[in-house]
Structure 1
């Protein structure tokens, strides 16, 4: 018994010693509250902690202390819990609903309250949005323990004057992918050599979520369940301060705001945010880091121009969002130019910055509350001087795409009203006025030319949703609060002849694949026509799908059942026709209807390829088309029997690991009648390797031009402005081409974030989409790139190769899972590729 007691005492002593490195200054602690080390069985920093262990520990804290609660706000693609851990006094917890209502009064423009210093401040500490930036989730455990267990006067004060929300892991799927890697390759003794496997994670690495999306770009776009759950939580609570903890290069130090100035000429974000509040908080961070001897930098990097970061979106909700970037150990111990950096060291810096944030927020809560109140009041005031009083939008030809756009508006609590005839209205004068700007406004003038990320994000263009500015607000009566019934269609009637399916609808590709999987033969129209249906006379566009009943292996009743069930699932307009004789245009027996083969698609992934673009393809087909795609690592490509597939997708990459024989196999396979789809840098690769006959746009060289001497300090920004970080341009689309089927207008916004300049085809029928004479819609592009590279180029070209073809996308039609406006181009390549002569 004595020996066991001695062992326990020694263990507790070891735990205490380990934890002193982080929070000795906040002693004393309640002894009945287990430390993370006591609960997990190892010192924080000695091991990477799995997400389920993180959640389990926080659940334990909530179980043993009345100062904490935990709730689940969603689940990841892989089914992991997304949780919010809340810390305050027991009294505050008991009165949380009352406090919440008092807090929300400051963001309600119809209420005038001034008790700024009387309501606890709302602080949301967010960790680990990039899964392989793991130090912050470990810091979250230490922070939660300190806030719950410490009896230090400072912590007591924080609990009394704040409601602190801890989101310990924003990206659990990515974190666990990295955690498994780091722990699996951990050495004993530790190996600090940079080239060791522990520090060189393999593709796709843990940065991204299940579908390889960067969740730190998803706050505005709201594509993934992690972001949607967080946004729903956010708009319920509207915290005053939000943190965003990251990691960066191992040889760096530690970054906190202020950032470099916002690149927009007239930023949507109030100047008080990125100047006054940042200057108010910065001394707290520098003082805290100075005390532990950590080095840091500010103002030199990063920017908050794009509103979809965890460190920028809250700024458009009346909060102060704060970015922290910590040099990464990318494992447990790694060499740097200044010695080794340990996992524990990176955790301590994150922990220290977190508590400096809490301190600054509590000590300045009145100013923060007044700022949030003024933020929403100023939104209404600014709306009075805007040129547009409202925006009218809606595409009656594609109700499901319109529905998806409205879903995003509602996700951000943008008030939207139904006008009629498939059109809707968004008034500018509303609390979310700045989000309205982010959805509809476009820009052409900037005060900077180098961006950390995108310089264009007008969401309406993502959805190809044409919006009209209104100078006055029409009568607003039918507010949209749910999208559940927005795309409801009239059920199709039974026929023994043919079903005609509206291919203009976004969901038509998914419905097509569903029918094919059920054994239904489907054809597509190469010319428009007008037909009599049981619903009346209807005009049908290029690409209209037809199900000829008598040509099926199933009887008419079974065909009707399958078609009807598919319509109910995907809500696509379908019409029953009893005759093949059209009122105008081609008849239903015309040779201008061609049978559609079922896609059997393969995509090359792995080292050398863009995991982002590959994930976007995978996500689109999985979640919207419900169509499988075989993902093969480049290292395994030599084992693939290409004859099992009719479509090959290659996203941006260098593909240098493909052997000469594998390259020949691709060329031969295409020439035998199959379809290769290339995106971005894969298009350059295909042309350079002569897989496709085509050219890249060549800039005319001025041999007489003398090189201008410039200062070395300006090298990075001068070269950086030639990089296209992300902007939106207009193309002229051939809607008669199979790749253009389902579009009703030739002008189409596309997103470009690369320097792939694709020359138009020498064949007059193979340039499917070319940039218009005045292509700029939104975002920064240098004059040189615009005039010499973009304007002469094409966005989408088909290169015939033998009996097959290569579909060359210069731009990414599936960018960040959000480009509903151009997804159909990619899907058409999958379904109609073999129909292109």
Structure 2
């Protein structure tokens, strides 16, 4: 027994000694609490730690320490746990609900709490939102151990005066994808050569989540379970300080805030946030990193203009969001211009900044609390000064799209009301700044180069027709979307059923019925049918399910129709006659049976994984339709004849002439190629289609004006379209536009693909309007010379098939409900498009 005890003490002490590189200053540690090395069996930094081991270690800390508890706030697409370790003093832990109640009084503008220095400050340490930026999750383990095991007076002071929420891995699916790669190629001895496989992940790499979404852009959009779970937790606790730890290129150093100036002309976050608070905390980070000899920079490159980052969203909730960027070892050790950068070195910088964050928060807790209180009070004050008292919106044609938008508003705790047929969002509410984020549009900016998008008015993402109003009739408050749609059950018919194609979920209903073996037709002209609910007018694309023509009996058909209506809440009607009250009859040649799409998509090196993931996610989660993902390396021998639709998203397609001919021949047989963004440019460049780009001849007579070299990045950067919203004129009679009523819709552009309208007068489906600007930055030259003369969507004939060319991305970040239909129509109706000669 003594021998075992001696060995345990020896192992623990040697473990601590090995990890003193990180936390030597915080001795003594409680020997009853296992260190990360003791638990994992290797020192932090020796290997990349799997997410399940991270969760297991934090669970162990919660079991062995009276300072900690663990909470699961969700699961990833792949089923991995999303957890937060809450660490504070044992006394605070016993009274955590009471402390939470006291804390939330500072968030409520109706309350006037003034015990600023008495309530422990809430700090959320968030790590590893990009899976292949792994150093921060290792630092999270060190931070969790320090806070639960250290008996150093400095740490005890932090615990007495703060509640620290450690979110060790915001993106577990991406992290484990990268962890597997880095550990799989780890050498012994380690290989520092940047060309080694360890430092060069294969597509799609570990940055993104399961569906290849960048979760650091998803705080505002809330598309993925990782983000939705975190947002739900966030609005329960409203932490005062939130960290967002990242990595950047190996040749760099370390970045902390203050950031580059916000590019908005009048940022909606208080100036106190990005000037005073950021500089206050910056002094702490500088001092901490100076103490370990690390170099760093601030006020460059990164900006918090887009409100959907982990380093910007909390700024709109009365907190202080802090970005950190560490030069990455991209593995365990890599050669740089300054020697070798190691994994432990990167971890230490992240750990040091974590401690400095807690220190700064504790020492300024009264200031932070008063700031958060003033934030929500000033929201009401700002709203009262505005002539806009609210926004109204509705769309009687598409209740499920409206429902999705209301769900987004409620996710961010925005108050929504239902008044008659319209919804009302008042500006006089604590979340006024989020209301601004959802509805306001801008055309003037203080900067012209953005780290991300320059437009994010989410109402436009949903093609929501909304109006600002100076008078309100609120109606009844909406607390849930579960009962927003009251679909009347369809009665049984022996003749036909009709589904209104205007509804967002109609495509999912179509796919479901086709997958169950029913033949479904679409109407290529409007009509008014005599239904059991009375005469009903149907738009282009209405789905017709003839009962007597199915291979299933009428009872089985009815059961499927009921299931569709219950599952997708789509407006569905029964008809007992094909003789319509107006327009074409149900047996018209304009009511054509649809072919079930058999779709494939090229993925792999050169393909933009974000856009590929958006397609995959849309079809998986909203339509329930499988799509075959063909790696580029397999294209040479892949049998394309198994599919009738092929999707190519943006990318640099380095295809051989033989591979190009393979695609061209396949389309020519009568199939459909759908291209997005730079894939459309590729199709035109390679002359698959006889379309052209919008070009303006350069004036060669003008003398070249000499400019300062240092300004080159800014001058050239503003020429790109980083992300803005424009209006297009849509041909609503075209099959790609079925389901739309309004010929004017918003689209999202974040590329420089300028396609000329087709010379075929029937082939341009969407063209930018005469006054296209809705929201975001674009240079005058790009607007006048490139955007306005261009088309957003055209169809080009190729043999017996067609190429559908999207200049813009209709599925951007899984959020463009307003243009998803264009893409889905390309899949489900594409082969019905005949292009007149």
TM-score past 0.5 threshold? yes
Superposed structure 1 runs of 4+ greater than 6 Å apart: 1-6
Any residues of structure 2 matched to 1:410-449 within 5 Å, and which?
410-421=410-421, 423-449=422-448
Gaps of 5+ in 1: none
Equivalences, count: 834
Deviations 1:240-283 (A, max 9, x none): 00000000000100000000110000101110000010111111
Q: State the match for 1:624 in structure 2.
A: 622
Q: Kindly state the Cα deviation for residue 634 of structure 1 after the two structures are TM-superposed.
A: 0.3
Query: 2:671 matched to 1:669?
Result: no
660-669 or 373-382: bigger deviation: 660-669
Partner SS state of residue 519, structure 1: coil
Q: State the match for 1:544 in structure 2.
A: 542
CA distance in 1, matches of 2:467, 2:105: 33
Partner SS state of residue 73, structure 1: strand
Q: State the match for 1:201 in structure 2.
A: 201
Any residues of structure 2 matched to 1:105-120 within 5 Å, and which?
105-120=105-120
CA distance in 2, matches of 1:150, 1:345: 22
Q: State the match for 2:529 in structure 1.
A: 531
Q: 1:586 aligns with which of 580, 584, 587?
A: 584
Query: 2:808 matched to 1:811?
Result: yes
Q: State the match for 2:221 in structure 1.
A: 221
Q: State the match for 1:46 in structure 2.
A: 46
Q: Kindly state the Cα deviation for residue 5 of structure 1 after the two structures are TM-superposed.
A: 7.0
Query: 2:515 matched to 1:486?
Result: no
Taking a change above 3 Å as real, the CA distance of residues 5 and 416 of structure 1, as seen in their structure-2 partners, is: closer
Partner SS state of residue 409, structure 2: helix
Deviations 1:63-121 (A, max 9, x none): 00110000100000000000010000111111011000000000101111111000000
Q: State the match for 2:608 in structure 1.
A: 610
Q: Kindly state the Cα deviation for residue 46 of structure 1 after the two structures are TM-superposed.
A: 0.3
TM-score (normalizing by structure 2)? 0.99
Q: State the match for 1:459 in structure 2.
A: 458
Q: 1:760 aligns with which of 751, 757, 760?
A: 757
Deviations 1:162-198 (A, max 9, x none): 0000000000000000000000000000100000000
Q: State the match for 2:97 in structure 1.
A: 97
CA distance in 1, matches of 2:320, 2:762: 53
Q: 2:770 aligns with which of 769, 773, 787?
A: 773
**Residues 763 and 795 of structure 2 are in contact (CA less than 8 Å); yes or no, is this contact kept in structure 1?**
yes
- Say what the alpha-carbon RMSD is for the aligned residues: 1.0
CA distance in 1, matches of 2:572, 2:301: 53
Partner SS state of residue 330, structure 1: coil
Deviations 1:436-492 (A, max 9, x none): 000000000000000000000000000001111111121x24111110111231111
CA distance in 2, matches of 1:152, 1:2: 29
Q: Kindly state the Cα deviation for residue 545 of structure 1 after the two structures are TM-superposed.
A: 0.7
Partner SS state of residue 803, structure 2: strand
Any residues of structure 2 matched to 1:238-637 within 5 Å, and which?
238-421=238-421, 423-474=422-473, 476-637=474-635
CA distance in 2, matches of 1:4, 1:151: 25
CA distance in 2, matches of 1:705, 1:6: 84
Partner SS state of residue 796, structure 1: strand
Q: Kindly state the Cα deviation for residue 589 of structure 1 after the two structures are TM-superposed.
A: 1.0
Q: 2:694 aligns with which of 694, 697, 705?
A: 697
CA distance in 1, matches of 2:564, 2:525: 25
Q: Kindly state the Cα deviation for residue 12 of structure 1 after the two structures are TM-superposed.
A: 3.5
CA distance in 2, matches of 1:489, 1:454: 38
CA distance in 1, matches of 2:581, 2:175: 60
Partner SS state of residue 635, structure 2: helix
Deviations 1:132-172 (A, max 9, x none): 00000000000000011111111000000000000000000
Q: 1:710 aligns with which of 677, 698, 707?
A: 707
Query: 2:784 matched to 1:787?
Result: yes
Q: State the match for 2:746 in structure 1.
A: 749
345-354 or 477-486: bigger deviation: 477-486
Any residues of structure 2 matched to 1:6-155 within 5 Å, and which?
11-155=11-155
Partner SS state of residue 530, structure 2: strand
**Residues 523 and 543 of structure 2 are in contact (CA less than 8 Å); yes or no, is this contact kept in structure 1?**
yes
Q: State the match for 2:719 in structure 1.
A: 722
Partner SS state of residue 827, structure 2: helix
Q: 2:679 aligns with which of 678, 682, 704?
A: 682
Partner SS state of residue 406, structure 2: helix
CA distance in 1, matches of 2:369, 2:12: 42
Q: Kindly state the Cα deviation for residue 11 of structure 1 after the two structures are TM-superposed.
A: 3.7
**Residues 12 and 31 of structure 2 are in contact (CA less than 8 Å); yes or no, is this contact kept in structure 1?**
no
Q: Kindly state the Cα deviation for residue 553 of structure 1 after the two structures are TM-superposed.
A: 1.2
CA distance in 1, matches of 2:790, 2:566: 42
Q: Kindly state the Cα deviation for residue 411 of structure 1 after the two structures are TM-superposed.
A: 0.1
CA distance in 2, matches of 1:185, 1:3: 38
CA distance in 1, matches of 2:480, 2:255: 41
**Residues 453 and 724 of structure 2 are in contact (CA less than 8 Å); yes or no, is this contact kept in structure 1?**
yes
402-411 or 521-530: bigger deviation: 521-530
Any residues of structure 2 matched to 1:174-185 within 5 Å, and which?
174-185=174-185
Partner SS state of residue 139, structure 1: helix
Gaps of 5+ in 2: none
Partner SS state of residue 106, structure 1: coil
Taking a change above 3 Å as real, the CA distance of residues 654 and 300 of structure 1, as seen in their structure-2 partners, is: same
**Residues 531 and 575 of structure 2 are in contact (CA less than 8 Å); yes or no, is this contact kept in structure 1?**
yes
Partner SS state of residue 445, structure 1: coil
